[in-house]
Structure 1
């Protein structure tokens, strides 16, 4: 049985619901065959999120880790790179707003995901669920956690793999009606994520296909 840690975030600011955590719970309740999924909720707080993640990794001893976050995108958005900077556009849930601060002083400028990201995105698309490769996880708590995860794996747990995926808002969330952001039912997002987990468990290497961008 392959052990997998999946994290999602607590609700942010005025929201009472976070699809990233809801999807993580669905993965734990109904994991892909052959996988044992543990879902852990992370605080949407810069100073608390990485310590909570590190504790979860140590407690669950997973073969790989997938962290989830919420973003106003069309579908399953698989992140490629985490950068070593916090440049928050607003306050986190503890009222913190770090600006131009390194996540890990003297750490590398960036880390790449160690998941087969293109293979995963292609598999999700083949199932009829929209998926994409993203070249930025932003500079808010999502990127903070992504970088923290990859730094942890690079320095303490080199045998593990990990990465970060953004999921869309759900249709009933206020931002969808107020701002017209794209949405996806959480059950659909969870089904796409099950395909991701199955693909990661089955493949150590990625496919070499063009999935870049000119801007």
Structure 2
């Protein structure tokens, strides 16, 4: 630990055809590259379980007191990255890997129907699109474990959380492209947290739609041999 501000990144555990969930792979990649010397990053794998999700996310906010929590999920059948603005409280009808779903079909009984992140995800997506990266803004996270985890984190973390759906197909599934993109997205979100009024009109220098190696992707490649020992 550097004694700096804490950012927590979560990814999900095995689910259906994903013996190793791509969201957890991405979280481990982010642990390798980090967010700078003044930020401590913690990663947690979250089982695809409603009960375990609530336990782990509550523990994160109660014990680590992070500045920001980033939850990674998988956009099945998509080659795009989605930035989710909103978490929903109700409508959870699908069973988890344990065969369970909440009897109330709610995340937090009596809680608001929806919660939005303090980060303006539309502004973040617009900035990256202007730089040539097709990051998609979304207000519907799917009403399954990703959405459930997001709402629970927004509720307990005073809305200081993000949900990013990573692709399950296409070129961005390559860790040396996805991890630097996620790193830059999260840096942009953290910058917005520092100054919510800061305009996000500056063009970024990195173009993640092309296979060119950037400084950040080089950082990842230098360390990726360690990834499988985590």
TM-score, length of structure 1 as denominator length = 0.79
- For 2:69 and 2:34, locate their aligned partners in 1 and report how far apart those are by CA, in whole Å: 14
**Following TM superposition, where does structure 1 have runs of at least 4 consecutive aligned residues deviating by more than 4 angstroms?**
206-209
Structure 2, unaligned runs of 5 or more: 202-230
Alignment partner of 2:58 out of 54, 79, 83? 54
2:168 maps to: 169
Where 2:137 maps in the other structure, the secondary structure is strand
- 1:122 Cα shift? 3.1
Q: 1:189, CA displacement in angstroms? A: 2.0
Q: Alignment RMSD, CA only?
A: 2.4
Could you tell me how far apart the structure 1 residues matched to 2:21 and 2:108 are?
Answer: 27
Deviation at 1:55, TM superposition (A): 0.9
| 8 Å contact from structure 2 (residues 9, 42) kept in 1 | yes
Alignment equivalent of 2:84, drawn from 76, 79, 93 = 79
Which structure has the larger Rg over C-alpha atoms? Answer: 2
Q: How many residues align?
A: 193
Q: How does 1:1-215 map to 2 (within 5 A)?
A: 1-33=4-36, 34-72=38-76, 73-89=78-94, 91-98=95-102, 101-154=105-158, 161-170=160-169, 184-204=173-193, 205=196
Separation in structure 2 between the aligned mates of residue 125 and residue 59 of structure 1, nearest angstrom: 36
User: Partner residue of 2:204?
Assistant: none
Residue number in structure 2 paired with 1:157: none
CA 1:97–1:54 in structure 2 vs 1: closer, same or farther (change >3 Å)?
A: closer
> TM-score normalised to the size of structure 2?
0.75
1:131 shift after superposition: 0.6
